[in-house]
């Protein structure tokens, strides 16, 4: 049965009861009882009449009853029907718009820092966890350098021909010395000339075995670990996640699901692959509960929108994840506005 046919089966009273249940649940997170609805409906009817309507809605699969006489909650199907067919989308509030605009207000040359600020602002505004997928950088590499930060931490600096700079922290193989880092950098720079990061990764895979004699053991291990870093093992540097603590604030009573969600958020490579699938379509997309296989066990919702570069090519995405009782009417336009603004700002940059 399609959403249109389900909606067509609802008379005005059923439609209003359903809408009030969903809106009250999204606001409070609690089951909604018939007595609560008698005070909210435009039509004055008895609590018994409302209970009958709610039973019909439950039979249709739009509402769930967590406990006997405990009121009703919208089901996943009900939430989807509400979001697609009945939700009223708010305009972005001036304060929210100003907070987002402020993150993009200066001319910071580092796209990563700029999008980090966007992600932080988005999580703060929505009180959810924010996800920002940075664009792949396609310009040729000008220079690569390894910098030791501690015995177990190193920084790789990538300078691109268009002036873009990326800094990535990683754990180097043990025993690295300044000379091995210089040697690894020189080797990579010789390979990188005129190549993009993707082209360098492919070329290195072909050349590293053939030219291993040019490197000592330590430098060879460092180059290999750099390959692993660029392949996105463990975490993907393109994905920025902020605001995990907001999920604890919102769903403290359901810690087991939150732990599952935190584990999902740590598997950044899986999230990147999922977000890249959203690049096939324009506009905001909403995934509720098990509709999003990546977060299905935690019963979460994801609101996500891609953004475009100057060539109108989708290059990244911004989104908010939280419990299924997100304030969709408020968050959808915020995510949409943020994605469009990011696209405009990045389109105005060189490259």
Position 308 scores a pLDDT of 84
Listed in sequence order, the DSSP H helices in 251-327 are: 255-266, 268-277
What averages of pLDDT result for each successive group of 10 residues across the chain (351 residues)? 71 90 88 84 84 91 80 91 89 93 74 87 92 81 88 85 79 83 86 80 68 67 64 59 78 66 72 68 83 72 87 85 89 94 79 42
Cα separation, 53 vs 294, in Å, equals: 35
Taking only Cα atoms into account, the Rg of the chain, rounded to an integer number of angstroms, comes to 25
pLDDT at 212: 61
The model's pTM: 0.73
Angle at 13 between CA 7 and CA 16, to 5 degrees: 70
Can you read off the two tokens belonging to residue 220? Answer: 């060879």
Helix (H, G, I), strand (E, B), or coil: what is residue 331? Answer: helix
Phi, psi (deg, nearest 5) at residue 323: -65, 160
- Name the nearest CA neighbour of 84 among 277, 294, 288: 288
């Amino acid at each position: 049965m399609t959403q249109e046919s389900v909606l067509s089966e609802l008379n005005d009273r059923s439609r209003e009861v359903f809408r009030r249940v969903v809106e009250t649940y999204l606001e409070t997170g609690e089951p909604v009882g018939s007595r609560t609805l008698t005070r909210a409906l435009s039509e004055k009817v008895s609590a018994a009449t409302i209970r009958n309507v709610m039973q019909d809605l439950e039979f249709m699969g739009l509402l769930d009853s967590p406990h006997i006489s405990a009121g009703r909650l919208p089901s996943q199907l009900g939430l989807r029907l509400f979001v697609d067919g009945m939700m009223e989308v708010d305009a972005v509030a001036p304060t929210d718009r100003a907070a987002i605009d402020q993150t993009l207000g200066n001319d910071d040359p580092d796209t990563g820092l700029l999008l980090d600020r966007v992600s932080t602002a988005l999580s703060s505004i929505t009180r959810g966890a924010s996800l920002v997928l940075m664009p792949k950088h396609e310009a040729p590499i000008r220079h690569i350098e390894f910098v030791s930060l501690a015995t177990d931490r190193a920084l790789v600096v990538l300078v691109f021909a268009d002036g873009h700079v990326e800094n990535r922290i990683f754990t180097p193989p043990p025993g690295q010395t300044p000379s091995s880092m210089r040697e690894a950098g020189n080797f990579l720079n010789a390979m990188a000339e005129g190549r993009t990061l993707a082209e360098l990764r492919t070329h290195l895979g072909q050349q590293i075995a053939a030219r291993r004699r040019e490197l000592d053991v330590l430098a060879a291990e460092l180059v290999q670990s750099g390959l692993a870093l660029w392949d996105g093992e463990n975490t993907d540097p393109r994905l920025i996640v902020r605001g995990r603590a907001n999920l604890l604030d919102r769903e403290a009573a359901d810690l087991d699901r939150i732990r599952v969600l935190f584990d999902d958020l740590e598997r950044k490579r899986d999230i990147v692959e999922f977000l890249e699938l959203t690049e096939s379509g324009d506009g905001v997309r909403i995934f509720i509960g098990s509709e999003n296989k990546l977060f299905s066990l935690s019963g979460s919702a994801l609101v996500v929108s891609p953004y475009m570069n100057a060539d109108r090519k989708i290059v990244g995405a911004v989104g908010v994840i939280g419990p299924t009782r997100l304030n969709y009417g408020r968050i959808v336009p915020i995510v949409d506005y943020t994605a469009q603004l990011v696209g405009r700002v990045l389109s105005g940059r060189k490259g």
